[in-house]
A = this chain, B = another copy of it.
Amino acid sequence: MQTAKTLRMTPQRRVILEELRKVDTHPTADELYEMVRKRLPKVSLGTIYRNLDLLSSDGVIQKLQAGNSQMRFDGNAEPHMHISCIKCGRVADVHSGPDTSALSQEVETDFILLGCTVLLYGICPQCAADGKTSERFTP
């Protein structure tokens, strides 16, 4: 989970991180690309991907698999639950709820247990209102 290399603070990296932390929408790489592009028009999608990868490997941000094929990113590296809309793919934080970190302690497995993710899924308020087109979702 950690890179030995020193991460240089390039303008690109800084803006990516700033933009990601500015929102709580858990954007996809593409969405973040558009956000960053408004400030750095010449940035490339490859740079976005490379940075998101480095930053998540370093534990600075979180890479999320939220029920569809596209990865999403969370500027908040603290472990917390997420809920994903099966219709539109939107992802939201879940701040309440039971302590899932204890979950790991109660499990029987021959694996060396390192952690646990909980993904809730459902329908977001927007999609509940208007019956929009459905997206691919895998619980």
CB of B120 within 8 A of CB of A108, answer: no
20 other contacts beyond A83-B111, A94-B107, A112-B123, with CB at 8 A cut-off? A63-B138, A63-B139, A69-B69, A83-B113, A86-B114, A94-B108, A96-B107, A97-B103, A97-B108, A109-B120, A109-B122, A111-B122, A112-B128, A113-B122, A114-B123, A115-B120, A115-B121, A116-B119, A117-B119, A117-B139
Against B, the Cβ 8 Å flags (1 = close, 0 = not) of A80-122 are 0101011000001011111010011011111111111111111
Does A29 sit within 8 A of B, measured CB to CB? Answer: no
Interface centre among A117, A119, A128 (most CB of B within 10 A): A117
- Rounded to whole angstroms, the CA-CA distance of A122 and B111 in the bound complex is 6
| Given contact pairs A110-B125, A119-B117, A121-B116, A98 touches B92 in the complex (Cβ within 8 A) | no
Cβ contact of A98, chosen from B69, B103, B109, B120, cutoff 8 A: B103
| Given contact pairs A81-B107, A100-B103, A114-B86, A71 touches B120 in the complex (Cβ within 8 A) | no
| Given contact pairs A65-B67, A138-B64, A138-B71, A106 touches B114 in the complex (Cβ within 8 A) | no
